A and B are shown apart, each in its own frame.
Chain A
Amino acid sequence: MSSVRVLVGTHKGAFILTSDGKRDKWEVSGPHFAGWEMYHLKGSPADPNRIYASQTSGWFGQIIQRSDDGVKTWVQPGTPPGEKPASGPPKAASNKFVYDSAAKPLTTHQWYDGTQHPWEFKRVWHLEPSLTDPNTVYAGVEDAAIFRSTDGGENWHELPGLRGHGTGPKWQPGAGGMCLHTIILDPSNPKRMWIAISAAGAFRSDDGGENWKPINRGLRSNYIPDPEAEIGHCVHHIAMHPKRPGVLFMQKHWDVMRSDDAGDNWKEVSGNLPTDFGFVIDVHAHEPETIYVVPIKSDGEHFPPDGKLRVFRSRTGGNEWEPLTKGLPQKDCYVNVLRDAMAVDSLDKCGIYFGTTGGQVYCSADAGDSWNAIVHDLPAVLSVEVQTLK
């Protein structure tokens, strides 16, 4: 029988939630890496027992963790615990993220006050394992850049063509920092991938990450000097259905957007949403035109409108939205749902999951019609991913 494993990153550790395919009874393990900010955990599509995790701290910096046995045990890639010291220089490089200033000069980006500021590595926001090779994984980092490891996370190398695109001096941090938070790999074309940066916008590579082009035509952001500029849009998240990789859905700072040509052009599909501000967006596993968002009141008030936590579903690829409320708090709810904190499983019916800054992780086992809280009281949830296990 199928089962699911939900990987939850929080401000104070990681939690693993498991259930059989009914998704009504759950086992909770954790906290793993207690006390650390766990920005993101994600399993390899090629080997579900291979899971990568970004462990980070303002005090101690970035750590990469890897499990090879379905989260029973973890190692820092390259430095198994208990290994005797070897001669020569320390070999642990799994937390070494150094911008490739040899290939591309390390230039500057725009700071909050409009001055130029040097690139400084802070943390890994998002880990995206290869669709085919468990040892290949991409990392989206702050300050914005993309790195790749081809040895299971032991060593990381920047794909410098993105940061060195030439528009870097115009990129600027959002309130959460200048982060590369979204990485999407095209299942139909191993050379094509998309990323998104707050606040620079969306980019696409058609040659395996060597060269990148901004894909922000159609985005309009009234909070930047030129609302339709090529660069500077605060994209919060992008989602794609794996069987229809030319169609992308975007939750921007304000506005829910859609592209039918792999990002070359975007159109707004906010339609009848009560507010089109938000962070998460995702696509139903079996219905490529069914999408989900969680509207948040505004950029100044990061909580649901009217204290009602509502997921909105569109079965028409946008514009026409219905509120999903059964099982979700409909009064006095003032949590946020962060950009990487929604995921879908591939069971039938499709399961939808999201975590909140109030520490709840909700699951719908019926594509959003009804919801149950798997857990109520975790630390603030930063990310949610789900693995569907056969």
Chain B
Amino acid sequence: MVRVILPQHLRALSHTGSEVQLEIHGPVTQRSVLDALEAHYPMLRGAIRDHETLKRRAFLRYFACEEDLSHEPPDAPLPEAVASGKEPFIVIGAIAGG
């Protein structure tokens, strides 16, 4: 199972807890993880990636294994530790004050 950690506002929107677990069939990539996330929680469609282009929203980042994976190609394999569920795939909002 792939573990995904969402920012607080998206947890509230999707009525989930601090961590979501997803079963991914096939390669574990940003795209396959986010596709599965949106399939299970359709209210998140458009909130992480643009509806049409599927591009990451500008003020969100993807972290895993202490790395910023935001600029990795969406079909690049995620680290084995994410695929095995040892480490979570983290969606995080940019920090801004005010």
Chain A residues in contact with chain B, CB under 8 A? 35-36, 57-63, 76, 78-79, 81-82, 85, 90-93, 95-96, 98
Closest to B40 in A: A85
Q: Can you pick out 12 interface pairs between chain A and chain B where the beta carbons lie within 8 Å of each other?
A: A36-B9, A59-B60, A60-B10, A61-B57, A63-B43, A78-B42, A85-B40, A90-B45, A92-B45, A95-B51, A96-B46, A96-B51
Say whether B46 contacts A85, CB under 8 Å: no
Say whether B39 contacts A92, CB under 8 Å: no
Once A36-B9, A58-B59, A98-B52 are accepted as A-B contacts, the answer to whether A63 and B47 lie under 8 Å apart by CB is yes
Residues of A close to B60: CB separation below 8 A: 59-60
The SS class assigned to the A binding surface is loop
Say whether B43 contacts A92, CB under 8 Å: yes
Say whether B45 contacts A57, CB under 8 Å: no
Known: A60-B47, A96-B45. 8 other contacts (CB 8 A): A35-B9, A60-B10, A60-B93, A81-B43, A85-B40, A90-B39, A92-B43, A95-B45
Chain B residues in contact with chain A, CB under 8 A? 7-10, 13, 15, 38-43, 45-48, 50-52, 57, 59-60, 93-94
Closest to B7 in A: A59
Residues of B close to A57: CB separation below 8 A: 9
- The CA-CA distance from A78 to B38 in the complex, in Å, is 14
Residues of A close to B42: CB separation below 8 A: 78-79, 85, 90-92
- The CA-CA distance from A131 to B10 in the complex, in Å, is 33
- A93 nearest CB across to chain B (Å): 8
Residues of B close to A95: CB separation below 8 A: 45-47, 51
Residues of A close to B59: CB separation below 8 A: 58-59
Could you say which of B39, B45, B57 contacts A85, with CB atoms under 8 Å apart? B39
Residues of B close to A78: CB separation below 8 A: 42
Say whether A59 contacts B51, CB under 8 Å: no
Residues of A close to B10: CB separation below 8 A: 60
Could you say which of B40, B52, B57 contacts A60, with CB atoms under 8 Å apart? B57
Residues of B close to A93: CB separation below 8 A: 45
Say whether B43 contacts A76, CB under 8 Å: yes
Could you say which of A35, A59, A62, A79 contacts B43, with CB atoms under 8 Å apart? A79
- A76 nearest CB across to chain B (Å): 5
Could you say which of A76, A85, A98 contacts B51, with CB atoms under 8 Å apart? A98
Residues of B close to A59: CB separation below 8 A: 7, 9, 57, 59-60, 93-94
Closest to A79 in B: B43
Say whether A62 contacts B46, CB under 8 Å: yes
Among A59, A79, A92, A93, the one with the most B-chain Cβ atoms within 10 Å of its Cβ is A59
- The CA-CA distance from A96 to B45 in the complex, in Å, is 9
